[in-house]
Amino acid sequence: MKHHGGCHCGQVAFEVEGDPREVMSCNCSMCQRKGALMWFVPRQALKLLTPESNMSTYTFNKHVIKHRFCPKCGIHPFGEGVGPDGQAMAAINVRCLDGIEPESLPVQHYNGRDV
């Protein structure tokens, strides 16, 4: 299934292919503040509909995850990184997807604070 998503102002828009069955809530210093619920997909399942230049990127700690956000409205719709198997991954903030009820998805809690 194809889902549409983006930031609040529309400067960042994307499509993602797949069906979220579970999301992750992380308590690291960044994710806890954002309140994101992340759905992990292979990076090739994510298609940008707006230019990459419309986004800004923030990294911290080990600088391995690109936290993507809109510099205009400040919303963080997704992040990019590499999975444990070396595959390029995207962490989609399901709160930024149209037609998804985040409360209906099971949440796995991840202790990113102690990693």
Report pLDDT digits (tens) over 36-95. 999 999 999 999 999 999 999 999 888 889 999 999 999 999 999 999 899 999 999 999
Closest to 71 (Cα-Cα) out of 115, 4, 5, 8: 8
> 3-state DSSP call for residue 71?
coil
CATH assignment at residue 31: 2.170.150.70
Give backbone dihedrals phi and psi of 69, rounded to 5 degrees, phi first. -150, 160
User: How many Å from the N-terminal Cα to the C-terminal Cα in the chain?
Assistant: 33
Judged against a pLDDT cut of 80, whether residue 34 lies above it is answered with: yes
Q: According to the model, what pLDDT value does residue 6 have?
A: 98
Tokens of 47: 């298609």
> How many structural domains does the chain have?
1
> Which range marks the domain in which residue 8 is found?
2-114
Q: According to the model, what pLDDT value does residue 8 have?
A: 97
Q: According to the model, what pLDDT value does residue 63 have?
A: 87
Mean pLDDT of 1-22: 97
Separation between Cα atoms, residue 40 and residue 49, nearest integer Å: 19
Closest to 110 (Cα-Cα) out of 21, 31, 18: 31
Judged against a pLDDT cut of 80, whether residue 106 lies above it is answered with: yes
